Structure 1
Amino acid sequence: MANVIRNTGSLTTAELAALALSLAHLGAGPQSVTARRGLRHAFQHLDLDDDVIATTLTTLTTPLATDVARRARVIANAITARLVIRIQYHDSAGRMTTRDIEPVTCLAHRDYWYLVGWCRMRGGIRAFRFDRIVAVEPTDLPSRPHLPERYLPFQRRKAA
C-alpha cells in the first residue's frame, strides 16, 4: 500500500491524547497492531534518547490488559458523550474510594495510563492511574464541558 500522507506536521497534545485513548481501548483487537504501528510512525521524528519519551511511547504502543481495556472503553465513551462516570479507585496509600468524575481526557506518561478529570469528591482536577481504577460505570449525569488543553500536563505554557 502506498503512503498517501506526505507531511503530517506535528500533533497537538490534545490530538496525541485522543489517539492514545483510541488505541488504549482497542486492547489487543484485530486493528490494534496496525494502529500502534501508525502511532510509532507518527513519533519517528522524536528524539528517543529521551528516557521519558521512549518509555511513554512503549506504554502507548503496548496493548492494555483486557479488563483495563474494557474500562478504558467506558471512559472513552463517557468523554465523547460528556457524561459523569463513577469509579472505584485504589489510591497509592491503599485506600479505596468511590468517586464521581467528569472525564476530560486520558494520557500515558512513562509506564502508566491516566484518566484526567474533574473529581466531584475533591472539587478539582485529578489524574487517576488506569491500573488503580478497580471499576468504572457510566451514569446519566451530564458532565460540564472541559477543555483538555487546560488540564494536560507535560506541555509548555506560554509566558505571560
Structure 2
Amino acid sequence: MANVIRNTLTTAELAALALSLAHLGTGPQSVTARRGLRHAFQHLDLNDDVTATTLTTLTTPLPTDVARRARVIANAITARLVLQIQYRDATGRMTTRNVEPVTFMAHRDHWYLVGWCRMRSGIRAFRLDRVAAVEPTDLPARPHLPERYLPFQRRAAA
C-alpha cells in the first residue's frame, strides 16, 4: 500500500534534498531516493533545456572525491565557518581562497559552492569539480541569506 503526499517544496528545500542525494552515491536506497526527487520536480517546466539539464545534474551522484569535499563544505555551511579552498579556475590557474560558504546550487551540468570570497570581496560561485581541496577554519563566517546570492537566477525585466 503506497501513501502519496503532495506538497510543494521550495527551491532551497529541493536543492538541499538533491545535495543530500548527491552525497548518497550509489548506496542501496539511492535509486529510489533519486526517483522520489524526480517526482518532486514534476511541477517544473521541463521543456526548458536549462531546467532539464539541471534536473539531470541534481539526480546524478557526485564522484566520490567531489562528494567528500561537498560534505566538508556542507558541514561548514551548517556551522557557519570560513573555508579555505584550493580552486582551479577555467584556465587551470590554482588559487587559495578563504570563502564564507552560503549555499550549494546546481546549474546545467555542474554543482557550485556559492560563497563570499574574501580574496575578491564579493560573492562567487565555485564549481565543485574544480575545488581541489577544502578545509574548514576556526573563523566564523557571517550569516548570508542564500536568496540574495544565487547567481544564474532569472531576473524580472525592468
Structure 1-normalised TM-score?
A: 0.90
Give, as a single letter, the amino acid of the residue that structure 2 aligns with 1:62.
Answer: T
Hey, what's the Cα distance between the residues in 1 that align with 2:144 and 2:83? 15
1:25-40 to 2 correspondence within 5 Å? 25-40=23-38
Q: CA RMSD in A?
A: 1.8
Answering whether residue 2 of structure 2 is matched by residue 2 of structure 1, we say yes
Give the % identical residues. Answer: 85
Hey, what's the Cα distance between the residues in 2 that align with 1:156 and 1:96? 30
Structure 1 residues 56-112: Cα deviation after superposition (integer angstroms, max 9, x where no partner): 011111111000000010011111111111110000111100111110000110001
Moved more, 64-73 or 13-22: 13-22
Answering whether residue 68 of structure 2 is matched by residue 65 of structure 1, we say no
* Residues 54, 106 of structure 2: 8 Å contact kept: yes
| Structure number with higher relative contact order (C-alpha < 8 Å, ≥ 6 residues apart) | 1
Hey, what's the Cα distance between the residues in 2 that align with 1:16 and 1:77? 18
Paired residue secondary structure (2:133):
strand
Structure 1 residues 3-54: Cα deviation after superposition (integer angstroms, max 9, x where no partner): 241x212x32222222222222222233322221111010112222211111
Give, as a single letter, the amino acid of the residue that structure 2 aligns with 1:102.
Answer: E
* Residues 105, 111 of structure 2: 8 Å contact kept: yes
Runs of 4+ displaced beyond 6 Å: none
1:5-154 to 2 correspondence within 5 Å? 5=5, 7-9=6-8, 11-154=9-152
Task: Count how many residue pairs are aligned between Structure 1 and Structure 2.
Answer: 158
Deviation at 1:154, TM superposition (A): 4.1
Unaligned runs of 5+ in 1: none
Structure 2-normalised TM-score?
A: 0.91
Unaligned runs of 5+ in 2: none
Hey, what's the Cα distance between the residues in 1 that align with 2:130 and 2:115? 15
Hey, what's the Cα distance between the residues in 2 that align with 1:27 and 1:84? 26
